[in-house]
Structure 1
């Protein structure tokens, strides 16, 4: 039944799915979730996005199914998510044989019809936003989502420190949280905006409010995949050469500016005495984050400290590190008031995969749908 105001809620939409789910409780993965992302240069109206979504579902054989088309801008540009069911009105499972290949073919066809930029000529990954988060503008959750999602997708990093350094470029910080429930320790993440000095401002946002793709489990998986990738793909020699050339600059500012001109950001960590005890490099060309020692001793914090920091008497070869196994800083109050961080949502967020069926056990996370552009 339609709501009185004519604007259906997520609850109304989910109830329209219930008869289909009840007709077949045996199918392991009854829900389909597709994300269609036109190129940023493709300017489309809501009506055009809806038409593309409807035509996509028709061509994929889901035209007679109940489905939701949801317009989203969490990655800094308009795109749509489509959620539907693989079970028809008679309880039969819709054929999904070679669905991925068919979907790709349909997307290419729609690109030609609507004169969109072809995805095959573009990298199929989200580009970084052009603007940093500005907490004065409000709507912090969507601003932060527009940073952390493409960063998670497009860059390679192996630790929370490296991830945090990368987010800091866009005035975002992240912190791991822990909560013990029935003797079991659960982990989570919260994100927050920062000001020009890197200090946290505004309220913290639970990762669950942004999406599972930027949650604790996804981050650990990202660390593992990045480590595997870096084993097979060593840091480019060009990156090392660029840093070596920058180290010939007489001043710290000159060093940093030289690297910036080569598409590399260097994050220097120093203590109250002015001793540089750590360095993280962000190579925007290869989209890789790594600590200085990963390149070799000649690129490490000790070398940079001798060049641009403060060398303590008798410590020329070994730079003292204060509490090296602990985070450099911890923003006070970042996790205060978030005791419900691990509480489940009543209904799934349509910007993410639907991983829980109203009938039956929890389903495995589905693979993301194909991208349109």
Structure 2
């Protein structure tokens, strides 16, 4: 499997006003006053506390970052393999540089954006993701700010490191939509706490599902499939072509939608109606060629090794897969099915090795109603099967 692509952003001045009683660090004037009072930056050191926990896994990680104190310095000092994706324009760096860094990291298709900052930094990143139409990008914050009200932050730098370790070990880590809050710093300096929900971002959260699954029987498994189906139905878009792969989890979606789909075939849905059932590869390719709108794919793991492509759904050919953006692929599975993989990655075997490699990395998996985890996808070869 490819290396974990870690996008790194550090707001080097986050929290600089806290130790000198300024109750915030937003704005050039506040930062200047903080330095005048003898404040010292702490964000790089706090990010290093997080990254230190990942040092045993350095061979599995490639960091993408901006130059200097926005990421490069921390990666260098801890000997992480890294690639520079840009340089801050301002000196010192500012919110615009943060947004530029986000855009550059998205071009690298990073698996997660790990950032050090405060609520203002989280707000900047949320703005950048919205601008780039990348609302589902996974992020995780290392807390460095004076005021910390946003749910995207771990409770400590070490806690952020533990979450990252869990992802690297292929453990089941919940991915949730977390509030990004911002505080009125002027009111805060006057002793008043005024916060508001500014946006939301997706972040990995512990405890792991492994600790939450207890005595799951067949009935509970069916309820989970129903939750997954209902979430998909509640989020269907008009004029979008949905290709639905085989499996009992996808069949539950078709049943709840009220269409006569197949358990073992590939079906096609448009505007909540069945366009074609049990299609061949040729039929499927003709259908997508005749469709001018967006295309989404709904698939689940088939077989004991966790294949999502290449086992029971060979109708979904490389030619079809190339027509679908990776962000438009819904991988759905119950927690029990994921747990049964025993931390092995999901597998792709499309009969096109180069295409298979492009899937390698981390992907969100829908495991309940609006309930996601991050899980790795590997290539179906001897190395990944026995890992």
Give the TM-score normalised by the residue count of structure 2.
0.27
Give the TM-score normalised by the residue count of structure 1.
0.27
User: Taking CA–CA contacts closer than 8 Å with sequence separation of 6 or more, which of the two structures ends up with the larger relative contact order?
Assistant: 1
Higher strand share: 2
